[in-house]
């Protein structure tokens, strides 16, 4: 028996009519024939306090109102009973008659589309927020979640408040920084009606789906970030595997009586849309595409049933300093800030110190940078960048080198030449996609070479190559990016090209 005596509400109070409608829908799949079932429903509804007492008597009328009152008086609240009720609903839904022909009069009597974010997301359904890596989709999703939790406009789109559960499965450590940055920027707390789940979760596991639904208030909005992490091992191009994911998401949506929002990636060619089998996009009630071209970020409604799509909204990621780490370095994260028009940025020539910082970043990234599961460059940690800058710096003392590095690091962020989250840095600006692709190729080549040397027993070149005082060349990873790949983006004053070597 659970030690808890009340059902989750995330500190959110929806209207009584909405709560009654959601709970009545859940109970509609259960028949009050057996005393054990009536007792179970009473224990489940009591976890919400007395507010569903009349609904219980209404539902239990066929069982006998007098007997139902007796059970209600004796039974104690039990959240486990609520879980059982939801699991019974899952079973009932799977057996329910699929087709229910409606007359025209029934269609006319249907209420108009109800919006959670007006013109963007419906109150109930399955939606997706998708875009390329670094487009800003997770930051935008957090902004959506906070807006819904507060009932405040999202980019001037009205919202109806609801409880929100944000399931963070990618870069779990970053959510703390994002929340702290959001609160610091807005000068208020994330609403208590927004909760976060950072435990592993699988959309393809019926038990996981039922257990997650059990902790969600009726009418909840659930963000799952990301779809890829919620379906590990899935062949995303397989109609069968994607079908299992869609079924899991739709089952979750039916159980909570609310909205499920998947955060997903585009394919290798972002122009071709949502990554994976086309059945996912077809199953959606709404889709938001997040795009990035250089420093300009935007989102638009890419699909909206009974709504209008295509309007573009621009935004930028504003860097917020959130704390200082144990080494005395500033830790930052980002928040979404709307832009009324597409941002433009005049290029400003870099100083010698800024150029050296950028070159040292490229040098370190080509050797120590990380790759994601798809083989894309996913950033360089501050602790791996700083030593390379120090070795390139002409300053006489460590204190002077540290000061120069911190100044250049902050300048490059302000100039939007690099971006950072949780001390992990990436390139920004027009050339970033091309340059990061080159970095990834270098890292993969070095990794493959090291693997081959291990297999042949030649370990002499496996270790990372140091930047010795007598060396004229960059580390192993810092080879030239092909000139034709970035020729269209070159700018001698502010965008120095990669070079195979440097003189200190």
Q: Evaluate whether 19 touches 162 at the Cβ level (below 8 Å).
A: no
Q: Which residue has the tokens 């589309």?
A: 113
Q: Which pLDDT score, from 0 to 100, does residue 448 have? A: 81
Helix (H, G, I), strand (E, B) or coil at 370: strand
Q: DSSP per residue over 306-354, as a string?
A: TS----EEEEEEEEEEEEE-TTSPEEEEEEEEEESS-------PPPHHH
Q: Which of 20-34, 119-133, 450-464 has the highest mean pLDDT?
A: 119-133
- pLDDT, average across residues 44-50: 87
Q: Which two tokens stand for residue 153?
A: 């406009």
Please tell me the predicted confidence (pLDDT) of residue 109. Answer: 81
Mean pLDDT of 173-199: 93
pLDDT digits (tens, 9 = 90+) for 211-235: 999 999 999 999 999 899 999 988 8
Confidence of residue 480 (pLDDT cuts 50, 70, 90): very low
The better pLDDT of the pair 271, 356 is held by 356
- pLDDT value at residue 340: 72
Looking at residue 247, its pLDDT comes to 94
**Strand 370-371 to 115-117 pairing:** unpaired
Average pLDDT for 174-186:
93
Query: Is residue 190 very low, low, confident or very high in pLDDT (cuts 50, 70, 90)?
Result: very high
User: If DSSP codes are grouped into helix, strand and coil, which group holds residue 377?
Assistant: strand
Q: Is residue 497 scored above 50 in pLDDT?
A: no
Length of the chain: 504
More confident residue, 499 or 277: 277
Provide the pLDDT confidence category of residue 28 given band limits of 50, 70 and 90: confident
- In 3D, which of 181, 224, 164, 217 has the Cα closest to residue 199? 224
Check pLDDT > 60 for residue 498.
no
Q: Are 439 and 377 in contact (CB under 8 A)?
A: yes
Q: What is the pLDDT of residues 61-71, one digit of tens each?
A: 988 888 989 98
Average pLDDT over residues 284-302: 89
Q: For residues 298-322, give the mean pLDDT.
A: 86
Helix axes 16-27, 79-95, angle to 10 degrees: 60
Measured between alpha carbons, how far is residue 314 from residues 256, 311, 346, 458 in Å?
32, 10, 18, 52
Query: Among 27, 19, 79, 80, which residue's Cα sits nearest to residue 220?
Result: 19
| Cα separations in angstroms, 185 against 127, 265, 296, 337, 381 | 28, 27, 21, 10, 24
Confidence of residue 457 (pLDDT cuts 50, 70, 90): low
Q: Which of 260-264, 303-307, 371-375 has the highest mean pLDDT?
A: 260-264
Work out the percent of the chain whose per-residue pLDDT is above 90.
47
The predicted structure's pLDDT at residue 407: 92
Domain parsing of the chain, residue ranges: 16-92, 115-339, 352-489
pLDDT at residue 347, rounded to an integer:
61
Identify the CATH class of 115-339.
Answer: alpha beta
Residues 6+ apart with CB under 8 A from 348: 415, 494
The reported pLDDT for the residue numbered 277 is 87
**pLDDT of the residue at 482:** 45
Tokens of 315: 């935004």
Q: What is the pLDDT of residues 97-129, one digit of tens each?
A: 667 788 888 788 877 889 999 999 999 999 999
Whether the predicted pLDDT of 484 surpasses 70: no
Mean pLDDT value of segment 406-431:
88
Q: Is 432 helix (H, G, I), strand (E, B) or coil?
A: helix
Q: Which tops the pLDDT comparison, 307 or 282?
A: 282
The mean pLDDT value of the chain amounts to 82
The pTM is what? 0.59
Greater pLDDT, 269 or 367: 367
Residue 310: is the preceding peptide bond cis (ω within 30°)? no
Residue 202 in contact with residue 208, Cβ under 8 Å? yes
Average pLDDT over residues 281-300: 89
Q: What mean pLDDT is predicted for residues 154-162?
A: 95
Q: Could you give the dihedral angle defined by the CA atoms of residues 193, 177, 135 and 284, in that order, rounded to the nearest 10 degrees? A: -30
Choose between 104 and 95: higher pLDDT.
104
**pLDDT attached to residue 10:** 62
Residue 424 structure tokens: 């992990």
Q: What is the mean predicted confidence (pLDDT) over 265-293? A: 84
For residue 401, name the pLDDT band (cuts at 50, 70, 90): very high
User: How do residues 345-362 score in pLDDT, each as one tens digit?
Assistant: 556 788 999 999 999 999
């Amino acid at each position: 028996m659970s030690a808890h005596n009340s059902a989750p509400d995330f500190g959110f109070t929806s209207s009584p009519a909405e709560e009654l409608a959601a709970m009545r829908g859940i109970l509609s799949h259960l028949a009050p024939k057996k005393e054990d079932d009536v007792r179970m429903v009473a224990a489940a509804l009591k976890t919400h306090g007395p507010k569903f007492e009349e609904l219980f008597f209404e539902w239990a009328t066929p069982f006998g109102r007098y007997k139902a009152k007796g059970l209600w008086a004796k039974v104690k609240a039990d959240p486990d009973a609520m879980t059982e009720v939801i699991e019974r609903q899952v079973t009932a839904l799977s057996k329910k008659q699929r087709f229910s022909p409606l007359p025209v009069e029934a269609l006319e009597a249907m209420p108009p589309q109800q919006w959670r974010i007006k013109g963007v997301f419906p109150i109930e359904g399955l939606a997706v927020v998708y875009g390329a890596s670094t487009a800003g989709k997770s930051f935008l999703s957090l902004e959506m979640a906070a807006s819904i939790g507060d009932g405040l406009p999202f980019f001037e789109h009205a919202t109806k408040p609801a409880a929100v559960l944000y399931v963070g499965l990618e870069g779990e450590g970053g959510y703390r920084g994002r929340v702290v940055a959001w609160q610091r920027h807005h000068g208020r707390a994330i609403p208590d009606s927004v909760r976060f789940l950072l435990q592993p979760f699988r959309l393809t596991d019926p038990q996981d789906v039922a257990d997650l639904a059990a902790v969600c208030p009726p009418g909840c909005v659930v963000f799952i970030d990301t779809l890829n992490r919620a379906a590990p091992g899935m062949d995303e191009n397989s109609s069968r595997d994607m079908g299992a994911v869609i079924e899991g998401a739709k089952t979750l949506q039916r159980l909570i009586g609310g909205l499920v929002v998947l955060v997903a990636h585009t394919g290798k060619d972002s122009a071709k849309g949502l990554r994976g089998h086309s059945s996912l996009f077809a199953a959606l009630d709404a889709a938001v595409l997040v795009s990035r071209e250089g420093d300009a970020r935007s989102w638009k409604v890419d699909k909206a049933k009974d709504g209008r799509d295509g309007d573009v909204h621009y935004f930028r990621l504003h860097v917020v300093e959130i704390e200082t780490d144990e080494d005395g370095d500033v830790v930052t994260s980002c928040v979404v800030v709307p832009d009324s028009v597409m941002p433009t940025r005049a290029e400003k020539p870099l100083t010698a110190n800024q150029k050296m910082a950028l070159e040292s970043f490229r040098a370190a990234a080509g050797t120590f940078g990380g790759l994601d599961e798809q083989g894309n460059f996913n950033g360089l940690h501050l602790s791996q960048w700083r030593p390379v800058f120090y070795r390139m710096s002409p300053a006489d003392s460590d204190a002077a080198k540290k000061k120069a590095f911190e100044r250049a690091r902050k300048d490059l962020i302000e100039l939007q030449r690099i971006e950072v989250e949780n001390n992990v840095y990436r390139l920004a600006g027009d050339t970033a996609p091309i340059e990061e692709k080159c970095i990834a190729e270098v890292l993969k080549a070095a990794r493959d070479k090291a693997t081959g040397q291990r297999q042949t027993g030649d370990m002499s070149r496996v270790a990372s190559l140091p930047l010795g005082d007598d060396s004229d060349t960059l580390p192993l990873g810092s080879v030239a990016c092909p000139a034709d790949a970035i020729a269209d983006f070159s700018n001698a004053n502010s965008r120095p090209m990669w070079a195979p070597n440097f003189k200190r």
